[in-house]
Amino acid sequence: MSEAMLSKVRKLLAQAEDPACTPAESAAFTAKATELIARYGVDRALLAARLPATDPVGDRVVDIVAPYARDKVGLLAAVAEPLRCRCVRRRQGNGFALHLFGFASDLERVDLLFTSLLVQAAHGLAGTPVPAGEHPVAFRRSWLAGFAQVIGGRLWAAETAAASGAGTPSVALVLADRSDRVQRRLAEQYPRLRTAPPRRLAGTGFGSGAEAGRRADLGGRDLGTGSAVGRQLRR
pLDDT in tens, 192-210: 877 766 666 666 666 777 7
Please report the beta strands in 48-172, taking only residues with DSSP state E, as ranges in sequence order. 57-64, 86-92, 95-103
Could you tell me the sign of the dihedral formed by the alpha carbons of 227, 229, 232, 234, in that order?
negative
Report DSSP state, residue 191: T
pLDDT digits (tens, 9 = 90+) for 50-90: 888 888 899 999 988 888 888 899 999 999 999 999 999 88
What pLDDT band is residue 139 in, cutting at 50, 70 and 90? confident
pLDDT surpasses 60 at 181 = yes
pLDDT of residue 45: 84
Q: What percent of the chain has pLDDT over 70?
A: 75
Across 124-141, average pLDDT: 83
Across 172-181, average pLDDT: 88
Q: Which of 59-63, 130-134, 221-225 has the lowest mean pLDDT?
A: 221-225
Q: What percent of the chain has pLDDT over 90?
A: 12
126 compared with 143, residue with greater pLDDT:
143
pLDDT of residue 101: 95
pLDDT of residue 85: 93
pLDDT digits (tens, 9 = 90+) for 89-118: 888 888 888 999 999 889 988 887 787 778
Q: Collect all residues with Cβ–Cβ distance below 8 Å to 33 and sequence separation of at least 6.
A: 8, 9, 12, 13, 16, 217, 218, 219
Contact indicator for 158, 40 with CB cutoff of 8 Å? no
